[in-house]
Structure 1
Amino acid sequence: MRAAVLEEYGEPLDIRDVDAPDPGPEGAVVELDACGICRSDWHGWQGDWDWLGIQPQPGQILGHEPAGTVVAVGDEVENVAEGDQVTVPFNLGDGTCPQCRTGHGNVCENVRPLGFVESVPGAFAEQLRVPTADQNAVQLPDGVSPVDMAGLGCRFMTSFHALAHRADVGGGDWVAVHGCGGVGLSAVHIASALGGNVVAVDLEDEKLDKATELGASETVNASEVEDVPGEVKAITNGGAAVSVDALGIATTCRNSVLSLATHGQHIQVGLSTQDEGGMVELPTDLMVMQEIEFIGSLGMPPTDYDEIFRMVGDGKLDPSAVVSGTVSLDDVSDQLEAMSDFGTMGIPVIDSF
């Protein structure tokens, strides 16, 4: 089968033939209909996250936002069958640890990040092996487009979990979203659907215009103001109730915290770059004085996907609205290169392998 293989950090991926996967007794093989290209793939392509122990090594197949059709299952698999359309979370659980058994498979004690470590080759390929398929293969509702659902494997469901489960977004609450890439635009759309009034922050007017289409009440172009947190506080009459760092650089993290009102909640979704190496200085005294919460949020338990599907079915959420366009497997390297200058918008999706 064809796959896009990492050979050298920052260099074009090698599109070549590799062995097709075998499901194994507890796994499934999915033929890819679509796969999103995420900024996390860019991080892996850059060689980031050695400080997390998940730095992809040469020979790794990247890609972690898949949607496709099951074409083979192992003898021990009970919950999915050949012909099922599925998506797969990027943080694969083993289904047996205490976190998985209590519905927190997104933080499995033995989690394996899809497409980032050798044991789980990714989805920039014609086929993908899903380990522990009963835990990690999530059936899609009938009639949905795989392209529209590709972002569910990472960005869309990550934003949903952050805002619907980790934060306390109430009707009319001001929610600031710092960074309007794929996860940020998803957060804008979801926060609005949950009843929040959203302030979207980014450096590019095109992305802010898209944020407005997706439900943002106000926007801030960070390249045009000297004090982003001050601007957010002026718009929200004192600060946001919830603020999301959807990018992961030091500036957006601090701006998010400083944008909050007393008792506000900062939600950290974006992971850092080599510049930060996982460490960011924060205004801790202010956080104490204002009783600000700093909350981390990773992915989403696969057992909770039905919440998204119900809201999609009711017309409250539309993951397709965040999809910016489709490309072929041969175009992946160009898309990753464009991300170096934040030159992509929304979720670009591979639909031709």
Structure 2
Amino acid sequence: MRAVLYESFGGVPRVVDVEKPAAGPGAVVIQVLATGLCQSDVHAWAGHDPGITLPHVPGHELVGRISELGAGVSTLRVGQRVTVPFVCACGDCPECEGGNGQVCRNQTQPGFTHWGSFAEYVSIESAEVNVIPIPDSLDPGAAAILGCRFATAFRGLVGQARLQPDEWAVVVGCGGVGLSAVMIAAAVGARVIGVDIATDALELATASGAEAVIDSSGLSDDEVVARVREVTGGGAAVSVEALGRENTTATAIRSLARRGRHVQIGLYAGDPRIPMSDVIAGELTLLGSHGMAARHYPAMLDIIASGKLRPEELITRRISLDEVPAAMIDLANARNTAGVTLIVPS
């Protein structure tokens, strides 16, 4: 099969012919119909993930059809249209038994622990725990980006922060996952502020349901916080940081009202300093979101089926496998367009 492969961290990826995966016991092989290009793929390529073994095929957001069943798989069928969470659970550990497969201690992640979906085929272990059948009516682009961006934002806002209608939510960083958060917050009836330095990203945030946007280019962090407090009348109930930067995390936390909840989605290259004095004085809650277990996807799919969530509207670019190496380099150098880039392998 054809796949995007890199042989050194930061080295130029190439499209090459590699061996197609086989379905081991309990696993399936999925023919990839579409897959998303995500900032997490670039973090891994840059060498920020110690679990990656070289050479490596990235990619973790996908939709496809099952092409092969491993021994013991009886609840799935060849030809079924499916997606998967980017964190695949084992199904047997205490976290999985408690319903929290997104933090499974034995987790596997396509594109991280093993070769991923920037390819024509990808294998998924513990398939009956992780593979999620989806209707043919769901847009393939929407289905592809559910596994990481949308699931992480949905879990963070709905499952962790328990965002309520009419509450203010501020989303700092309106890339793919930030825009997903904007759209989800608006869908649950919250009032949303989007913060970014890029005009096209802010335009997409408005189109995705943001009631207000703040162009932070040329503003100090204090000025951004003041703008949020002015718009909300004292601070947001929930903040989301979707960039993975120390200063924007501090800005998001400082934009909260007292007793507010901060959701951290952006990934860091190292550990940031947190304004803990604000956390203590305001009795703030700090929450993480590491994706969402497959068992929780039906609630998100129901909202999508209702028309309140339209993930496909965030897709601004569709490319082939041959275009992926250049697109990864552009994303690493912040030369990507706003919205989500979707890869169609064939």
Both structures adopt the same fold (TM-score exceeding 0.5): yes
Deviations 1:41-87 (A, max 9, x none): 0111111133xxx3x33211100001100011012012211010001
Task: Please say if residues 175 and 338 of structure 2, whose CA atoms lie closer than 8 Å, have aligned partners that are also in contact.
Answer: yes
Q: Partners of 2:40 and 2:79 in 1: how far apart?
A: 29
Q: Partners of 2:154 and 2:253 in 1: how far apart?
A: 20
Letter in 2 for 1:23: A
Task: Please say if residues 335 and 344 of structure 1, whose CA atoms lie closer than 8 Å, have aligned partners that are also in contact.
Answer: no
The residue number in structure 1 matching 2:39 is 39
Cα shift at 1:340: 2.4
Letter in 2 for 1:325: R
Identity of aligned residues (%): 37
> Is 2:97 aligned against 1:114?
no
Q: Choose which of 48, 57, 61 in structure 2 pairs with 1:65.
A: 61
Q: Partners of 1:32 and 1:142 in 2: how far apart?
A: 14
> Is 2:24 aligned against 1:30?
no
The residue number in structure 2 matching 1:189 is 183
Task: Please say if residues 193 and 317 of structure 1, whose CA atoms lie closer than 8 Å, have aligned partners that are also in contact.
Answer: yes
Q: Partners of 2:325 and 2:277 in 1: how far apart?
A: 43
Task: Please say if residues 89 and 293 of structure 2, whose CA atoms lie closer than 8 Å, have aligned partners that are also in contact.
Answer: no
> Is 2:69 aligned against 1:77?
no
Q: Partners of 2:330 and 2:234 in 1: how far apart?
A: 37
The residue number in structure 2 matching 1:6 is 6
Stretches of structure 2 lacking an aligned partner (at least 5 in a row) = none
Q: Partners of 1:132 and 1:286 in 2: how far apart?
A: 42
> Is 2:124 aligned against 1:130?
yes
Q: Partners of 1:271 and 1:212 in 2: how far apart?
A: 24
Deviations 1:196-238 (A, max 9, x none): 1001000101100010000000001111322211111111111
The residue number in structure 2 matching 1:291 is 283
The residue number in structure 2 matching 1:228 is 224
Letter in 1 for 2:32: L
Cα shift at 1:7: 1.5
SS in 1 for 2:105: coil
Q: Partners of 1:305 and 1:113 in 2: how far apart?
A: 17
The residue number in structure 2 matching 1:21 is 21
Give the CA RMSD over aligned residues.
Answer: 1.2
Segment of structure 1 superposing worse, 287-296 or 2-11: 2-11
Stretches of structure 1 lacking an aligned partner (at least 5 in a row) = none
The residue number in structure 2 matching 1:213 is 207
Q: Partners of 2:273 and 2:226 in 1: how far apart?
A: 19
Q: Partners of 1:317 and 1:102 in 2: how far apart?
A: 28
Q: Partners of 1:22 and 1:58 in 2: how far apart?
A: 19
Q: Partners of 1:309 and 1:142 in 2: how far apart?
A: 13
The residue number in structure 2 matching 1:261 is 257
Task: Please say if residues 69 and 86 of structure 1, whose CA atoms lie closer than 8 Å, have aligned partners that are also in contact.
Answer: yes
